[in-house]
Structure 1
Amino acid sequence: MTSSFVTQAFQRPRAVVLVLGFAGAKPKHVAKYANVYHSLNCSTVAGTATNRDIFTGNTVNQDAFALEGLKLVTKLLKEVAEADDDNNQANKTPVVMHILSNGGTFITNRIGIMLEANDNSVNKKEETTEEQDNDTETSQDLRLFGDRLKLGCQIFDSAPGFFTTSGTFNVIRSLVPNKIIGYPAAAMYVVFTHVLNLSSYLMGQPTHNEEFWSRLQTDTNCLRQAYMYSNDDEIVEGKYIEELANDRKAGVGEYVALKHFENSAHVQHLRKHEEEYVSFVKTTLEEVEKLNR
């Protein structure tokens, strides 16, 4: 079975980075972001969930994708531990998540849910020995990833995006360049999301957007975030990212940084401002290392 991820490892990385691509990103696109971290002596695991799983909200497939990436990250962490004679550096190697647009943010939220469920799991039902072994291995991987994520950080690029009508329309339109097809498809998707929201309200339940945003505000799996955004982004409005950053600073955040780019469209910051972009990532990694000393 072909992996959804591409991995590149260093023997003694300063961090192991999980790069989660934006909707529609091809391997060559996420490779550009992985290369930023390679240049900074980090190991990387990079991949993108399918558009179908992202836009239909298929959490079963999203979880499978998320768990695959997570296990590849922990595999690299274990290899570092095996290669480290004194095991001192291995115990400090952090996990960094580089999260592109909401395509990456949806997977980030699923990882957060899995980490919390693993921490809270008790008194599991009786299973076969093989199932128990597999479950124990997955549980250990989740625990290792979660522990190292607390030593690392989450870097959001053009994310997260609050679900506005215009943003929802523009993201579908951008994925279907043909206007004859793209505009009606975008309009239909907007109507679909509004119908779902109305159903939630009628049942007295929070909408998907409300649950999504609330988790980002209160999540404690990682208390360090950095956000890269632009007010020229037609899909993700910068004001919501600024509000989220302020919420994190006033609430559970341990380290929160913001980087605004001028004249830069959605997920175009690296292409438009490469030097600034790499410098911000480098500075963020250095600040994380200071926090871990």
Structure 2
Amino acid sequence: MAADDIDYNIVFPDAGTLERHWQGTKEPVVILLGWAGCKDKHLSKYSSIYNDKGCVTIRYTAPLKTVFISETFGYKELSSTALKLLEILYDYEVENSPVFFHVFSNGGFMLYRYIVELLHSDQQFSSLRVLGAVVDSAPGSGNVQGALRALTATLGPQISPALKYVLLALFAVSVFLLRIVLYPVTKFIHKNHYDAVRERPPAWPHFLLYSRADQVIRHRDIELFAEAVTKKGVPVHSCDFTSSAHVCHFRDFPEQYTRKCRDFLVACMKDSEGPEAKKRQYVQSQ
């Protein structure tokens, strides 16, 4: 199997659930891309939103080193991971099913960026039919303080305080120099995830879930991103949960969160065969 060397989980719905929700149509495949440091037991709670709706789900979280080190220094390790994830669709013979993404924080969005680029440019994946994407607590850009908060939470209490402070200091200096001070130059070598997707977004609809209380990703970054891609013809919906912390919207508002995600998926399914889908395909080809 092409993706044997990445640690993913795939779940297929039982026949009864499948028949109840998607009778006469292909069930969607939902690819969930976890936040940095996300454990699969946490990501599985989100996949149940879609499994209970009769969807196939694929769960994957990029390793910490690719998010905090490789991307910071411009090494595109996640590009090969994106390729392997898309190949999973062919390994399990679900490439003819509609595809839907659920992306978490910058850690998931960094990987999503490379998936989008492959879907733009690689002929191998030209036949995949993407319905849309839910983006939870992302994307953010140029926020050193937020990045440090994310890394601190990810390192956890198991690491010694002295080593933690050294790692945080090195990371802060690297991000500040490469992604802020020198970015006007380094962007020509390696553009960050925020600018890459903002400047050449995919045509499918996006649903941005965020909160003004988020201390890791600035809500203004998300709102500016939404404005930019909307101007390029991409349908964008958003929901500000106002009080929930970073990637905690589901924890704090489980019923509302679940309903919004499912309703968006169903709406994307209904729109996927209509004239708006053809219009989006034209936008994507530009």
TM-score, normalisation: structure 2: 0.79
Give the equivalent residue in structure 1 for 2:173: 191
Task: Name which of structure 1's ranges 184-193 and 279-288 shifts more when overlaid on structure 2.
Answer: 184-193
Aligned to 1:67: 83
Which runs of 5 or more structure 2 residues have no equivalent in the other structure? Answer: 19-25, 274-286
Q: Which residue of 1 aligns with 2:30?
A: 17
1:14–1:42: 8 Å Cα contact kept in structure 2?
Answer: yes
Which of 34, 40, 43 pairs up with 2:47? Answer: 34
SS at match of 2:140: coil
Percentage of pairs with the same residue: 23
Q: Distance in 2 between matches of 1:95 and 1:79?
A: 9
Give the SS at the match of 1:163: coil
Whether the 8 Å contact between 2:29 and 2:94 is mirrored in structure 1 is no
Task: Indicate which of 227, 233, 249 corresponds to 1:269.
Answer: 249
Question: 1-side partners of 2:245 and 2:82: how far apart?
Answer: 27
Q: CA deviation at 1:63?
A: 2.4
Deviations 1:184-225 (A, max 9, x none): 432321111122243444xx4437896422222233434310
Indicate how the Cα distance of structure 1 residues 229 and 207 shifts in structure 2: closer, same or farther if over 3 A, else same: farther
Q: 2:223 aligns with which of 234, 242, 259?
A: 242
1:223-262 to 2 correspondences below 5 Å: 223-253=204-234, 255-262=235-242
- Residues 30 and 57, structure 2, Cα contact 8 Å, conserved in 1: yes
Match of 2:57 in 1: 44
Matched AA of 2:31: L
Cα distance between partner residues in 2 of 1:238 and 1:200 = 22
Q: Judging changes above 3 Å, is the alpha-carbon distance between structure 1 residues 265 and 183 closer, same or farther for their aligned structure 2 residues?
A: farther
Of residues 163, 181, 196, the one that matches 1:215 is 196
Q: Relative to structure 2, which stretch is displaced further, 271-280 or 52-61?
A: 52-61
Post-superposition CA distance 1:56-112 (Å, at most 9, x none) = 226553123222221123444x358xxxxxxxxx5xx32101101111101111112
Aligned positions, number:
253
Instruction: State yes or no: 1:110 paired with 2:93.
Output: no
Give the TM-score, by structure 1 length: 0.78
Could you tell me which of 260, 263, 269 is aligned with 1:289? 269
How far the C-alpha of 1:51 sits from its partner, in A, is 0.3
Q: Higher helix proportion, which one? A: 1
Distance 1:233 1:79 in 2: 36
Deviations 1:224-282 (A, max 9, x none): 101110111111111111111122222231x2110111321111111111101101101
SS at match of 1:144: coil
CA RMSD, 1 decimal: 2.4
In structure 2, the CA distance between the partners of 1:219 and 1:75, relative to structure 1 (3 Å rule), is: farther
Structure 2 residue identity aligned to 1:97: F
- Confirm whether residue 94 of structure 1 aligns to residue 110 of structure 2: no
SS at match of 1:267: coil
CA distance in 2, matches of 1:211, 1:2: 26
| From 112, 135, 155, the counterpart of 2:134 | 155
Change (3 A) 1:2 1:291: same
Residues 141-194 of structure 1 deviation map (CA, whole Å, 9 limit, x = unaligned): x2233xx11xx1011011112231211221112122345543443232111112
Q: Does 1:54 align with 2:67?
A: yes
2:146 matches 1:143: no
Moved more, 265-274 or 51-60: 51-60
Q: In 2, distance between residues paired with 1:191 and 1:96?
A: 36
Q: Which amino acid is 1:249 matched to?
A: T
Distance 2:250 2:86 in 1: 25
Give the match for residue 281 of structure 2: none
Q: Tell me, in whole angstroms, the C-alpha distance in 2 between the residues paired with 1:176 and 1:29.
A: 17
State the AA in 2 paired with 1:173: T
Unaligned runs of 5+ in 1: 81-89, 120-138
> How far off is 1:290 after superposition?
2.5
Q: Which amino acid aligns with 2:111?
A: I
Contact 2:144-2:175 within 8 A present in 1 as well: no
Asked if the contact 2:32/2:57 (under 8 Å) is kept, the reply is yes
Structure 2 distance, partners of 1:277, 1:33, is: 10
Q: Give the match's secondary structure for 2:223.
A: helix
> What residue number does 1:175 align with?
154
